[in-house]
Amino acid sequence: MRAFLFLICPVLLFLGVSYLLPFLGIVQLSFTDPDPGLAQYSRVLTEDLPTGVIWRTLRLCVLVTAVSVSCAYVITLLWVRGSPLVRSITELCIMIPFWISVLSRAFGWLSMLSNRGLLNTWLQDMGLIDSAIQMTRNEFAVVVGMSHYLIPFAVFPLATAMRNVDERVLTAADGMGASRLRIFWQIFLPMTSSGILGATLLVFVFSIGFYVTPALLGGGQSVLVAELIYLWIFQIPQWGMAAAMSVVLMLGVGGILYVLMRRYGEMAK
Amino acid sequence: MNRLRPGVIATLLSGLVAVFLLMPLIAVIPVSFTSRRYLSLPDGDWSWRHYAALFEDAEWGQSLLTSVQVGLLASFLAVALAAAFCIGIWMLRPRGAGLMTGFVLLPMVAPPVVSSLTLYFFLNKMARWNDIIAYDKLGGVVLAHMVMVVPYAVVVIMVSLSQLDRRMDLAAQSMGANVPTRVFGVILPNIRFGLIGAFFLCFLLSWDEIGVTLFITSVETITLPRRMWMGLRDNVDPSIAALSVLLICVVTLLVAVRAAMLMRKERSR
């Protein structure tokens, strides 16, 4: 019993005081600031600004998820099934960006896409365009930057699924004369669907609470949920609204994660 | 046996994804050598001024120091808390172990912006009580980083404990060893690599942490990512390109060395 107190309790106490209690405080705030009642929730879910931001976030996150998971699928294919040399090259291409700070990566995209950046300078030097194309401070840049950040995360569940594919099934299909394309569409892709689902939900959950990349590359032009919460805390203080939005976000992400756990639990049986 | 390798189309598409992943990391290199004060490519005259600025400007050095301090303190404390918790769960196997572990992993799965708001709320309240663990103070940042990295430490240590032979602990117990002897004499020495791994992971995560740090600091305690953010948000400062190039070089070197070591290990088998 004393071991329990000394070993298990410290971290529970630590997180209870510094994380759970303040979160409950935020939940309380969402019902009381500025007026008691459900007013904040009804504003978050009906007013034009928050609902517009929620829809934009969902739309962009669906797009980002689709881009990241398909890009990740292609490169994972090479990472898992390529020749040893190809495997080590792709591994470097996945791992190097993965370990690099989110800020350096956002800055990299600014260097690529901004008006005096690499892409615009090249295009102008080649005479393809006269004046710089605006490629940052818009949704395009946000989708590019977020997908770039999330591709490595999508790779890991996909790689697990691809490694579990039974080689003999593929060899059998090959022996029976199925074309490469047919083997891919009718056998390989369905057999890795659990990885696709896992990667999709993981990337979607990650993207939805994301702040840094959209704020830097969107340049305040396309505000997402996380940035709206930031604005409501620091720029136009509306703590109750920020709290209500956080609770909504938490519930949404919690729901998705619940589905993910259930699905993986079923597959593990 | 000759297994099915990815075809030409898959290789080509992966090549495009690889270019997409590496492009922004390469794009910062020319930008870091510009002679201008704003983001641009060097037109003819390459200059080291932004690298020099990193070393001359005391603020960058101060932020580096802050980041190292926060990283070391937060990782050390987080690993200590996590190790105690994991060993407690492993030794005592209490009822509700799953529930307690789930609670400790909460900061890892909650959307970062919700955690940020929660910690901001907490440190804001603490600021009325004391000057150390408070908003925009070193202690506050350390505490917030601890909350964010503790779940990762728990995961790593749990994995290394799951590989530990339980009979070793039982042997010690049957010979009359008390709990401290079992923990310090038997368990801790056997999971030391897990502890070191957890410490490094926590340090890396804290070193890169920006989402929460942005909410809980303003002018006094500025970590390196936080200073990068300031330079990116206000006016895109090419010093950040220089810093990014240095960070990218370090990461690339580490990832490449690790890959080479793994390849040599595989070959020697």
Burial of B256 (0-12, 13-18, 19+ CB in 10 A): middle
Gap between the Cα atoms of A108 and A135, Å rounded: 13
Torsion angle, CA of A204/A208/A213/A218, rounded to 10 degrees?
Answer: 110
Q: Residue A269: what pLDDT?
A: 52
Which pair of tokens denotes residue A192?
């890795």
Selected residue of A6, A19, A30 to mutate for chain B interface (largest B Cβ count, 10 A): A19
**Residue holding tokens 């990283």?**
B71
Is B109 in Cβ contact with A118 (below 8 Å)?
A: no
Q: Which residues contact A32 (CB under 8 A, 6 or more apart)?
A: A240
B144 close to B79: Cβ distance less than 8 angstroms: no
Total count of residues recorded for chain B:
269
Asked if B13's CB is within 8 angstroms of A111's CB, the reply is no
Q: Is A137 on the interface with B (CB under 8 A)?
A: no
| pLDDT at A187 exceeding the cut of 60 | yes
Alpha-carbon gap: A75 to the closest alpha carbon of chain B (Å):
5
Q: Which of A111, A216, A226 sits opposite B28 (nearest CB)?
A: A111
Does A92 sit within 8 Å of B259, measured CB to CB?
yes
Q: What letter represents residue A164's amino acid? A: N
**Set of chain A residues whose Cβ sits within 8 Å of the Cβ of B204:** 99
Question: Mind telling me how many Å the CA of B76 is from chain A's nearest CA?
Answer: 13
Global pTM value: 0.92
pLDDT digits (tens, 9 = 90+) for A138-179: 999 999 999 999 999 999 999 999 999 988 899 899 889 888
Mean pLDDT, residues A68-90 taken together: 93
What is the separation, in whole angstroms, between the first and last Cα of chain B?
19
B38 is written with which tokens?
């704003």
CB pair distance less than 8 Å for B27 and A4: no
Contacts of B20 (CB under 8 A, 6+ apart): A71, A148
- Mean pLDDT of chain A, nearest integer: 91
Helix pair B8-32, B238-268: axis angle to 10 deg: 140
Q: Verify whether the Cβ–Cβ distance A226 to B215 is below 8 Å.
A: no
Helix (H, G, I), strand (E, B) or coil at B23: helix
Amino acid at residue number A175: G
pLDDT level of residue A132 (50, 70, 90 thresholds): confident
User: Which candidate, B168, B182, B183, places its Cα nearest to that of B83?
Assistant: B183
By C-alpha distance, the chain B residue nearest A174 is B4
Residue of B nearest to A23 (CA): B118
> Which tens digit of pLDDT belongs to each residue from A20-40?
999 999 999 999 988 898 999
Give B10 to chain A, closest Cα distance, Å. Answer: 6
The answer to whether the Cβ–Cβ distance between B21 and A6 falls below 8 Å is no
* Nearest of A234, A221, A186, A8 to residue B216 by alpha carbon: A234
**Per-residue pLDDT tens digits for A95-126:** 999 999 999 999 999 999 988 889 998 999 89
pLDDT at res. B1: 39
Q: Is the pLDDT of residue A268 over 60?
A: no
Average pLDDT of the residues in A218-238: 89
Which has the closest alpha carbon to B148: B196, B115, B195, B103?
B115
| Nearest CB neighbour to B88, from listed A3, A82, A112 | A3
B residues 57-116 closer than 8 Å to A (CB): 81-82, 84-85, 87-89, 91-92, 94, 100, 103-104, 106-107, 109-116
Q: Is B219 exposed, middle or buried (0-12, 13-18, 19+ CB in 10 A)?
A: exposed
What pLDDT score was predicted for residue A52? 94
Using a CB-CB distance cutoff of 8 angstroms, which residues of chain A are in contact with residue B41?
116-118, 121
Query: Are B10 and A77 a contacting pair at CB < 8 A?
Result: yes
How would residue A3 be classed by pLDDT, with cut points 50, 70 and 90?
A: confident
Helices A193-208, A139-163: crossing angle, 10 deg rounding: 150
- What string of pLDDT tens digits covers the 269 residues of chain B? 356 788 889 999 999 999 999 999 999 999 999 888 888 888 778 889 999 989 998 999 999 999 999 999 999 999 999 999 999 999 988 889 999 999 999 999 899 999 999 999 999 999 998 888 999 999 999 999 999 999 999 999 999 999 999 999 999 999 999 989 999 999 999 999 999 999 999 999 999 999 999 999 999 999 999 999 998 887 788 889 999 999 999 999 999 998 888 888 877 76
Contacts of A171 in chain B (CB under 8 A): 1, 3-4
Query: Which A residues in the span 69-98 are in contact with B, Cβ-Cβ below 8 Å?
Result: 71-72, 74-75, 77-78, 81-83, 86, 88-97
Cα dist. A230→A133, A215, B188 in Å? 30, 10, 42
Q: Give pLDDT, residue A257.
A: 86
- Interatomic CA distance for residues A25 and B120, integer angstroms: 12
B229, amino acid identity: W
Q: How confident is the model at residue A1 (pLDDT cuts 50, 70, 90)?
A: low
The answer to whether residue A116 neighbours chain B at the CB level (below 8 Å) is yes
Residues in chain A closer than 8 A to B89 (CB atoms): 8
- Please tell me if residue B161 touches chain A, with a CB cutoff of 8 Å: no
Backbone φ, ψ for residue A168 (5° rounding):
-65, -35
pLDDT at A6 over 50: yes
Q: In this model, does residue A222 exceed pLDDT 80?
A: no
Cβ–Cβ gap A216/B30 under 8 Å: no
- Chain B partners within 8 Å of A3 (Cβ): 88, 91-92, 179
Cross-chain Cβ contact A233/B251 below 8 Å? no
Q: What is the pLDDT of residue A102?
A: 93
CB-nearest to A11 from B22, B121, B150 is B150
The torsion angle over the Cα atoms of residues A37, A38, A40 and A45, rounded to 10 degrees, is: -170
Of B269, B173, B235, the C-alpha closest to B37 is: B235
Q: Pick from A7, A18, A167: which is nearest to B84 by CB? A: A7
For chain B, the helix, strand and coil percentages under 3-state DSSP, each to the nearest 5? 75, 0, 25
- 3-class SS at B51? helix
Nearest chain B residue to A149 by CA distance is B21
Task: Give A2's pLDDT tier (boundaries 50, 70, 90).
Answer: confident
